[in-house]
Amino acid sequence: MNKKIFSGVQPTGNLHLGNYLGAIKNFVQLQSDKKNQCIYCVVDLHSITVKQDPRTLKQNTRETTAAFLASGLDPEKSIIFNQSAVSSHAEGAWILGCVSRMGWLSRMTQFKEKAGKDKEKASVGLYVYPVLMAADILLYDATHVPVGEDQKQHLELCRDIAQKFNNDFNSRNFLKVPEPLIQKEFARIMSLKNGLNKMSKSDPSDFSRINLTDDKDLIINKIKKAKTDTLPMPGKKDNLEKRPEVLNLLGIYSSLSNQNLDEVKSNFEGKNFSSFKENLSELLIDKILPIGKKIKDLLKDEKHLDNILKKGAEKADNLATKKINEMKKLVGF
Ligand code: AQP
Residues 77-132 have pLDDT tens digits of 999 999 999 999 999 999 999 999 999 999 999 999 889 878 899 999 999 999 99
- pLDDT tens-digit readout, 252-284: 999 999 999 999 999 999 888 999 999 999 999
Q: Tell me, what's the pLDDT at 333?
A: 97
Q: Tell me, what's the pLDDT at 283?
A: 97
Q: Tell me, what's the pLDDT at 67?
A: 97
Q: Please, what is the angle between helix 302-331 and helix 88-99, to 10°?
A: 40
Q: Percent of the chain, pLDDT > 70? A: 100
Residue owning the nearest CA to atom 22 of ligand 1: 200
Higher-confidence residue of 150 and 300: namely: 300
- pLDDT tens-digit readout, 51-65: 999 999 999 999 999
Query: What is the arithmetic mean of pLDDT over 131-158?
Result: 96
| Ligand 1 neighbour 150 (Cβ under 6 A) | yes
**Can you say whether residue 140 is alpha, beta or left, with left for phi > 0 and alpha for psi between -120 and 50 degrees?**
alpha
Of all helices (H) and strands (E), which one includes residue 275? helix 273-298
For ligand 1, the distance from its centroid to the CA atom of residue 148, given in whole angstroms, is 7
Q: Tell me, what's the pLDDT at 123?
A: 95
Q: Which CATH superfamily is domain 4-187+302-331 in?
A: HUPs (3.40.50.620)
Q: Tell me, what's the pLDDT at 28?
A: 97
Q: Tell me, what's the pLDDT at 50?
A: 93
Q: Is the pLDDT assigned to residue 243 strictly greater than 80? A: yes
Give, for ligand 1, the residue of 28, 150, 152, 185 to mutate: max count of ligand atoms closer than 8 Å to Cβ.
Answer: 150
For ligand 1, the distance from its centroid to the CA atom of residue 315, given in whole angstroms, is 26
For ligand 1, the distance from its centroid to the CA atom of residue 74, given in whole angstroms, is 21
| Ligand 1 neighbour 198 (Cβ under 6 A) | yes
For ligand 1, the distance from its centroid to the CA atom of residue 14, given in whole angstroms, is 11
| Ligand 1 neighbour 157 (Cβ under 6 A) | no
CA-CA distance, 294 to 135, in Å (whole number)? 32
The pLDDT confidence band at residue 237, using thresholds 50, 70 and 90, is confident
Q: Are 186 and 148 in contact (CB under 8 A)?
A: no
The whole-chain average pLDDT of the chain stands at 95
Half-sphere exposure of 73 (CA within 13 A, CB side): 31
Q: Is the pLDDT assigned to residue 1 strictly greater than 80? A: no
Q: Tell me, what's the pLDDT at 185?
A: 83
| Ligand 1 neighbour 210 (Cβ under 6 A) | no
Higher-confidence residue of 251 and 230: namely: 251
Q: Tell me, what's the pLDDT at 54?
A: 96
| Ligand 1 neighbour 19 (Cβ under 6 A) | yes
Higher-confidence residue of 236 and 205: namely: 205
Q: Which atom of ligand 1 approaches the CA of 50 most closely?
A: 30
Phi, psi of 78 (to 5 degrees): -125, 155
Domain with CATH 1.10.240.10 in the chain: 206-297
Indicate the pTM of the whole model. Answer: 0.94
Other residues' Cβ atoms within 10 Å of the Cβ of residue 332: 6
Residue owning the nearest CA to atom 14 of ligand 1: 9
Q: Tell me, what's the pLDDT at 261?
A: 92
Q: Tell me, what's the pLDDT at 135?
A: 98
Q: What is the DSSP letter of 76?
A: T
For ligand 1, the distance from its centroid to the CA atom of residue 311, given in whole angstroms, is 26
Contacts of residue 330, defined as CB under 8 A and 6 or more positions apart, other chains included, come to 169, 171, 174
Q: Which residues are catalytic?
A: 114, 198, 201
| Ligand 1 neighbour 44 (Cβ under 6 A) | no
The pLDDT confidence band at residue 23, using thresholds 50, 70 and 90, is very high
Query: What is the arithmetic mean of pLDDT over 44-50?
Result: 97
CA-CA distance, 141 to 179, in Å (whole number)? 11
Q: Which CATH architecture has domain 206-297?
A: Orthogonal Bundle (1.10)
| Ligand 1 neighbour 148 (Cβ under 6 A) | yes
- pLDDT tens-digit readout, 150-207: 899 999 999 999 999 999 999 999 999 999 999 888 889 999 999 999 999 989 999 9
Give, for ligand 1, the residue of 10, 12, 14, 19 to mutate: max count of ligand atoms closer than 8 Å to Cβ.
Answer: 19
Domain with CATH 3.40.50.620 in the chain: 4-187+302-331
Measured between alpha carbons, how far is residue 228 from residues 18, 219, 243 in Å? 18, 16, 8
For ligand 1, the distance from its centroid to the CA atom of residue 200, given in whole angstroms, is 6
CA angle, 137 as apex, 133 and 141 as ends, to 5°?
160
CB burial of residue 53 (10 Å; 0-12, 13-18, 19+):
exposed
Q: Tell me, what's the pLDDT at 284?
A: 98
